[in-house]
Amino acid sequence: METKSATCGRKGEGVRSDCFVKIEKISGNSIELDISSKVERLYGDKIREDVLQILNFYNLEGIKLTLQDFGALPFVLFARIECAIKRLFPEIKRDFLPPLNKGVKTKCIRERFRRSRLYLPGNEPKFMINAGIHKPDGIILDLEDSVSPDEKDAARILVRNALRSINFYESEKMVRINQLPMGLGDLEEIVPQPVELILIPKCETEEDVINVDKKISELEEKSGRKEKILLMPIIESAKGIMNAYKIAGASKRNVALTIGLEDYTADIGAERTEEGRESFYARSVIVNAAKSFHLQAIDTVYSDVSNMEGLKKATLEAKSLGFEGKGCIHPRQIKVIHEAFKPTEKEVEKAMKIAKAIEEAKKRGSGVISLGSKMVDPPVVKRAERILKLAKEMGLIQEGKND
């Protein structure tokens, strides 16, 4: 039987910043609109204008569109309507792209802090809109685990529009695609947009990374994209851990390696504990594999949003193992994570001494850096430089005052 109608979005108690769209085929070639909105008296005219614009774009007639709006921003409204249209008319492939927010900039920077990365469910607009004001180092629009299987198409369109419309300010704009092969489809929608880094979930082999890399290269070329997208593979299985070194070295796009402990502990058949002995090996492997290729090692997500003490402890522990970042799911966790990664006074002091030694070595025209009678090795120099950079960024020392 022919499909007569399709819906997208959500309605009901507690729905905010979203809307519900139903599109039905009707006889004749007219367009019927049935629109109700919580912001009717402020944006009613604009909403009708936007609805007609998108229906016009798809050249639709002989349809009835019912919209129940709960304060959805324009990019959400467009995403929900586009998705409903594509569900009703699967042959329609064209994308309706909302205008690019002039504040949105795309800059793929290899060397940057990735202390905190905030996961946002890809089909929930209300958490996305203000995420940037909390200043996480990275924002992840998630297409994978936080999106139910029958909403994957809706989330893809919503995330695409969010990337074009929301200003996440200084945060690195990341998207977690689905596991391959579905993830390759996600890339088609996402790569041409202002995304900076892609997370590859459940990465098990170097082929996973290579496949994503290839697909991205292809799409970058096709879309004329200049900024080369970065990658962060997520390892979530025993096999992935055993292949971590190869995964880390599989692409020039890789900038960091991370681990998903929920799936990993299940995979090895261990219970996940607060203490974390069961994952110590895997986490160390991640750190070592990452550092082998000068990548950042990023720890798993801390998911108990009410336990700030626990988060602090877990982050300090991660730092002690060599991790440089931690995942989070609530904006209030960001500050705690950044605090924990803050260099200690002792670290800063030592780093400043090394910086001074470097200066002196330069003045002497010597390649040998020494502190007192001890020679300072290159990795120590690198670590000191990193600490000073972080200390500057976090306001512990002021520019030009480190001598």
Decide if residue 103 touches another protein (CB under 8 A): yes
Decide if residue 50 touches another protein (CB under 8 A): yes
Q: Which of these ranges, 36-44, 53-61, 320-328, 376-384, lies near another protein under the rule CB under 8 A?
A: 36-44
Whether the Cβ atoms of residue 63 and residue 26 lie closer than 8 Å to each other? yes
Q: Rounded to an integer, what distance in angstroms lies between the CA atom of residue 168 and that of residue 188?
A: 22
According to CB under 8 A, which one of 3, 42, 62, 304 is a site residue for another protein? 42
Q: How far is the CB of 73 from another protein (least distance, A)?
A: 6
The DSSP call for residue 400 is: T
Contacts 24+ apart (CB under 8 A), 223-227: 223/191, 223/192, 225/191, 225/192, 227/106, 227/107, 227/108, 227/196
Q: Rounded to an integer, what distance in angstroms lies between the CA atom of residue 211 and that of residue 220?
A: 14
Decide if residue 395 touches another protein (CB under 8 A): yes
Angle at Cα 361 formed by Cα 359 and Cα 362, nearest 5°? 65
Contacts with another protein in 113-132 (CB under 8 A)? Answer: 129-130
Pattern 163-192, another protein, x by CB under 8 A: ----x-------------------------
Select 241 or 311, whichever has its Cβ closest to another protein. 311
Q: How many residues bind another protein (CB under 8 A)?
A: 28
Decide if residue 390 touches another protein (CB under 8 A): no
Whether the Cβ atoms of residue 129 and residue 311 lie closer than 8 Å to each other? no
List CB contacts of 255: < 8 A, sequence separation 6 or more. Answer: 110, 114, 197, 230, 231, 232, 295, 296
Select 123 or 254, whichever has its Cβ closest to another protein. 123
Decide if residue 310 touches another protein (CB under 8 A): no
* Residue 322 CB coordination number (10 Å): 16
Strand segments, DSSP code E, in 287-351 are 296-302, 325-328
Whether the Cβ atoms of residue 229 and residue 106 lie closer than 8 Å to each other? no
The DSSP call for residue 202 is: T
Q: How far is the CB of 67 from another protein (least distance, A)?
A: 13
According to CB under 8 A, which one of 16, 228, 246, 252 is a site residue for another protein? 16
Decide if residue 276 touches another protein (CB under 8 A): no
Pattern 318-347, another protein, x by CB under 8 A: ------------xxx---------------
According to CB under 8 A, which one of 60, 73, 219, 348 is a site residue for another protein? 73
Binding site for another protein (CB under 8 A): 16-17, 38-39, 41-46, 50, 70-74, 101-103, 129-130, 133-134, 167, 330-332, 395
